């Protein structure tokens, strides 16, 4: 294991020691032991769930609703794109690798199975469901060392792939900078879906002036631009509107999301999103 991977591994394990990002009380309903609430009986429900004491008191049938405690399937989707090869504090790729490690080891700590998927326009690497820390170590190393320049992640194809390949209802967490748009509504309806947006503050608010030779990390093309205030204002406005549409899509489809900058502690943002 390389030095950077060891450093992230030590930091990750320290953050998780004695703490949980979430817990494994799922949103799925079933015959568990964790009582959630009472609700009125509706036609077709299991009569074995009827609470007869409350039914007798209220003179209409009520049923017990439970949170089902069970082993969860955690799927971490890592979007491989040249645009993550950037950062003014840390590279986005490194922050995404740390997030993958945090989520992976949190899943293992809860005795859940974790799957890691790396995707651009197709599956680049797939670490299949596991409870082995060695597989999470390997996924972390791969995340840090993956060659991302010249690659573009097709988020629409990725969402469609996950929809058809992840059969059991799972907790799916997508990691990327989300500079493109895609429809995640079907994936969010089938699974418990979260989007982790990793950005650098400089890419959202660049402080530049003058002529620059800029290289597109996805296409590799050079663009010589004379950057002035008006052009940068237009860029910031386009990105702001893009992010507003993204947030609106996530909220409409009940998809959890957070934005983590390269100068922030990922652990705190993940804990806030998943608590």
For residue 148, give the 3-state DSSP assignment.
coil
Among residues 157, 129, 143, 131, the alpha carbon closest in space to that of 99 is found at 143
DSSP state of 22: S
How far is 76 from 269, CA to CA, in rounded Å?
16
Number of domains in the chain: 2
Which CATH number is 233's domain given? 3.40.50.410
Same domain, 53 and 169: no
Same domain, 130 and 61: no
Is the distance from CB of 170 to CB of 70 less than 8 angstroms?
no
How far is 151 from 216, CA to CA, in rounded Å?
11
DSSP state of 227: E
Looking at 69, 94, 125, the residue that finishes a domain is 69
Same domain, 105 and 167: yes
Same domain, 35 and 81: no
Same domain, 41 and 138: no
Same domain, 144 and 85: yes
Same domain, 48 and 183: no
Among residues 114, 116, 143, the alpha carbon closest in space to that of 131 is found at 114
Is the distance from CB of 113 to CB of 130 less than 8 angstroms?
yes
- Angstrom distances, CA of residue 22 to CA of 112, 122, 160: 12, 30, 27
pLDDT of residue 20: 56
Same domain, 90 and 225: yes
**Whole-structure pTM over 0.85, yes or no?**
no
Same domain, 55 and 115: no
Q: Residue 56 is part of which domain span? A: 26-69
pLDDT of residue 27: 45
Same domain, 217 and 252: yes
Same domain, 42 and 8: no
Same domain, 48 and 102: no
Q: pLDDT per position in the chain (275 positions), as tens?
A: 677 777 777 777 676 655 555 554 444 444 445 566 788 888 777 777 888 888 898 888 988 876 655 678 999 999 999 999 999 999 999 999 999 999 999 888 888 899 999 999 999 999 999 999 999 999 999 999 999 999 999 999 999 999 999 988 899 999 999 999 999 999 999 999 999 999 999 999 998 888 888 888 998 898 888 888 888 999 999 999 999 999 999 999 999 999 999 999 999 899 888 87
């Amino acid at each position: 294991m390389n030095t950077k991977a060891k450093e992230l591994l030590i930091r990750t394990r320290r953050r998780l020691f004695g703490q949980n990002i979430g817990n494994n009380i799922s949103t799925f309903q079933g015959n568990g032991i964790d009582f959630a609430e009472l609700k009125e009986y509706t036609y077709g429900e299991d009569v074995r769930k009827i609470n007869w004491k409350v039914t007798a008191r209220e003179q209409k049938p009520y049923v017990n609703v439970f949170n089902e405690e069970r082993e969860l399937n955690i799927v971490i989707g890592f979007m491989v794109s040249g645009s993550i090869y950037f950062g003014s504090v840390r590279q986005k790729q490194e922050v995404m690798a740390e997030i993958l490690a945090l989520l992976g080891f949190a899943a293992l700590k809860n005795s859940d199975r974790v799957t890691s998927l790396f995707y651009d326009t197709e599956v680049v690497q797939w670490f299949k469901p596991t409870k082995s820390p060695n597989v999470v170590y390997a996924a972390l190393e791969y995340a840090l060392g993956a060659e991302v320049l010249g690659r573009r992640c097709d988020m629409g194809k990725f969402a469609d792939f996950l929809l058809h390949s992840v059969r059991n209802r799972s907790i799916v967490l997508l990691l990327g900078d989300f500079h493109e748009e895609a429809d995640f509504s079907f994936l969010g309806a089938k699974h418990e879906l979260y989007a982790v947006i990793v950005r650098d503050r400089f890419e959202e608010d660049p402080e530049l002036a003058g002529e620059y030779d800029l290289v597109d990390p996805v296409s590799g093309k050079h663009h010589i631009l004379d950057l002035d205030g008006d052009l940068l204002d237009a860029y910031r406005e386009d990105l702001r509107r893009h992010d507003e549409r993204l947030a609106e899509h996530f909220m409409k489809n009940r998809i959890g999301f957070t934005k983590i900058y390269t100068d922030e502690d990922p652990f705190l943002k993940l804990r806030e999103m998943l608590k």
